Amino acid sequence: MSNFLYGSIPLMAEKISRLPLRPAEELPDLYNESLIIRRGHLIGYIPFHPDATILTCMCFESGGIGLSVYPSLEIADSLKNIHPVRFLIPTYEYRTYRLLPDKDIKRNEREARKLLNNREFEVIDVSEEPYMSRRLKMFSRILPYMKYGNSLNAYPLGDGYLQLALGALEISDILLCVEDHGNTVVVSDEGCAGPVITAKRIAKYFGYKSENLGVLAYCEAVSLDEESTMYAASETNKLHLMSDDPDKIKYSITTGGRTKEEHASQGGKPYQCPVQVVHSMIAYNDAILATCAEECMKGTLGCTDHKSLVMEEYGLFMRGTERRP
C-alpha cells in the first residue's frame, strides 16, 4: 500500500502544510463529481509529484486534510477509471454538534465530549499558513468509535460500541475511520472499495498482530437519499456480522445485504447508488477474503466497477491499470 500508512503521520502533516494550495476549481472532474467533496466545503487541494503514492491533499475550510492515496504508480494516467483511497488527518477542533441528530444536540454533545475526552490525544502544530493554522489532533490510540457512512445518528452496535464519528471536523470531512473492537478492526470509507480491503495492513500499522486478528472490512457508497442508503448499509452489516458463510457474504458484496436467493428474485442486479456500486466485504479469515476477491475479479458478482481488484499479501488493493486476462 502507500508508504503513508507505514510512515509518520505528524511528519507527513508537517510536509503537507508547507506545500502550495491550489484552487478547488482546478480539481480534476473525478473529485468534483464526488458528493463527499462537495459536502466537505473544499477550498483547495495540494498536488503531489506524479511518482508519489500520495497524489493529492484536500484542504477543507474547517481545517481538515483529506489525503488521496494511490497504491501504484501506473495509475497516474488512469485517474478517471478509479475512485481514490482517502485518509483523513482530523483537526484539533472537533465539532460534535455536526455529528449527531439536531433534535438531541445538547444531550448528545455532552455525551460525545465525555466519550472523546476519556481518550488521550497527541496535539501537534504544523504550520502558520492560514488554511492550515489549526492544530491537528493525532490519536495515541484508535478510538473505538466510527462514522457510519454519512449517517448523523449515533446508536449502539451489537457489542455496545457507539457508531460515533471519530470526533473531528464536520461529518462529511471524515473520509476514513478505524474502529477497534479488541479482536476485530473495522475500516470504513465512503464510496471506495480500496481502503477497506487493506484492513490487515492498516491494522498492522497500528500495532495489531495479523495472525491473531479477525478483520471486518466494509465500504458503503454515499447516496443522495441518505436515509435509505444508511438503512441498506446497516442491514448489510447486520447480515455480515451474523454470518461467516462465504456464499452469503460474497453475494451480499454488491447487493446491499441481500442473500443469494433474494438477489436472484430481484433480477440479480447489484445494488447501485449515485456514486458507485456498494461494496461490502468481510474477512474473518483469509480464505473468505480470497474467495471474495476471486469472484469480484471474475465479475460473477455483477460488479462492473471494481474488476481491477487484486490480491496481494493479506490485503487487496485497487490498481487502475490492472486487468484480469
> Cell 442491514 identifies what position?
235
Same domain, 11 and 133: yes
pLDDT one-digit tens code per residue, 167-200: 222 222 222 333 333 322 333 333 222 222 233 3
CB 318 within 8 A of CB 195: no
Mean pLDDT of 291-317: 34
Residue 229 pLDDT > 50 = no
Same domain, 48 and 171: yes
DSSP 271-296: P--SSS---EEEESSHHHHHHHHHHH
Same domain, 206 and 134: no
Which pLDDT score is estimated for 261?
52
Same domain, 16 and 119: yes
Mean pLDDT of 217-244: 31
Same domain, 25 and 172: yes
Within 10 Å of residue 129's Cβ, how many Cβ atoms? 13
Which pLDDT score is estimated for 17?
44
Domain end point (choices 176, 210, 239): 176
Within 10 Å of residue 245's Cβ, how many Cβ atoms? 16
Q: Structural domain of residue 194, as residue ranges?
A: 181-325
CA 119 to CA 100: how far, in whole Å?
A: 19
CA 137 to CA 64: how far, in whole Å?
A: 10
CB 176 within 8 A of CB 158: no
Number of domains in the chain: 2
pLDDT one-digit tens code per residue, 231-244: 333 333 333 322 33
Same domain, 146 and 53: yes
pLDDT one-digit tens code per residue, 79-130: 323 223 222 222 222 222 222 333 343 444 444 444 344 433 222 222 232 2
Same domain, 226 and 308: yes
Pairwise pLDDT comparison (159 vs 49), residue with the higher score: 49
Same domain, 212 and 315: yes
Same domain, 9 and 139: yes
Which pLDDT score is estimated for 147?
30
Which pLDDT score is estimated for 23?
54
Same domain, 44 and 165: yes
pLDDT bin (cut points 50, 70, 90) of residue 315 is very low
* pLDDT more than 90, % of the chain: 0
* pLDDT more than 70, % of the chain: 0
Which pLDDT score is estimated for 231?
30
Residue 219 pLDDT > 50 = no
Cα within 13 Å of Cα(69), Cβ side: 26
- DSSP letter at 178 equals E
Residue 138 pLDDT > 50 = no
Domain end point (choices 176, 202, 219): 176
Mean pLDDT of 284-293: 34
Same domain, 81 and 192: no
Cα within 13 Å of Cα(179), Cβ side: 23
Which pLDDT score is estimated for 170?
21
Domain end point (choices 176, 194, 228): 176
pLDDT one-digit tens code per residue, 145-171: 223 222 222 222 221 122 222 222 222
Mean pLDDT of 28-49: 36
8: which residues sit within 8 A by CB, 6+ positions away? none
Which pLDDT score is estimated for 25?
53
Same domain, 115 and 188: no
